[in-house]
Chain A
Amino acid sequence: SQQGEEDPQALSIQEGENATMNCSYKTSINNLQWYRQNSGRGLVHLILIRSNEREKHSGRLRVTLDTSKKSSSLLITASRAADTASYFCATGPDGGATNKLIFGTGTLLAVQP
């Protein structure tokens, strides 16, 4: 089963609005990362938050992490048409046998100009 599941699956907003995407995961993690993928392209790393952090900012991005609920959210403020893409969360291992990033199913964000 998926380690990470994003919610919603798809989101359509107007330029200037904020977009919030959520990610839930199942097992203990060392870190959680968010990536962006434009259609037909590779993934680009956006931000990483460690398991001992609760919130992190990078430009118009704000990420929160609640390890008790095993969930994270990505907020994009003042969205632009260029933010249209799929957004994936990915979880890193907690030091166990796995040593790889597990990706969620993604949220497709459409920002209407």
Chain B
Amino acid sequence: NAGVMQNPRHLVRRRGQEARLRCSPMKGHSHVYWYRQLPEEGLKFMVYLQKENIIDESGMPKERFSAEFPKEGPSILRIQQVVRGDSAAYFCASSLLDVLNTGELFFGEGSRLTVL
């Protein structure tokens, strides 16, 4: 049973380009979370999705950022017109139960975005 798969592991973009990060949750998991981590800092919540629904996007900037988790295929975090401040590690996590029902999160290895 494969774990949470994220790709790409490393991504380099120039200012103004788009970054697209993918996450395949663990088999059977329908809850997906995206977090951002800056160097030497903790994880900041961005968005929580279930299949075809955004449940909580309170941590995601209103502009340039979007996320989806379609019925088929991976969850996608999309950053348009990237700026240097977007450089960070983006982690995806999935869970079998939602956090309210004490769901443990399983994390991917992260996608490290560098904006030149």
A residues within 8 Å of B by Cβ? 2, 4, 30-31, 33, 35, 41-45, 48, 50, 88, 90, 92-93, 95, 98-106
Contact = CB atoms under 8 A, between A and B. Distances in A.
A95 B56 CA distance: 14
B69 interface: no
A98 B33 CA distance: 13
Contact of A42 (B48, B104, B108): B108
22 contacts: A30-B99, A31-B99, A33-B105, A35-B107, A41-B109, A42-B107, A42-B109, A43-B91, A43-B105, A45-B104, A92-B100, A92-B102, A98-B56, A99-B48, A99-B99, A100-B33, A100-B45, A101-B33, A101-B45, A101-B105, A104-B42, A105-B41
A95 B100 contact: yes
B105 A88 contact: no
B43 interface: yes
Given A99-B55, A106-B42, 14 more contacts: A4-B42, A33-B105, A41-B109, A41-B110, A42-B91, A43-B93, A45-B104, A98-B56, A100-B33, A100-B59, A101-B105, A103-B43, A103-B45, A105-B42
Given A42-B107, A42-B109, A30 B41 contact: no
B95 to A, nearest CB: 9
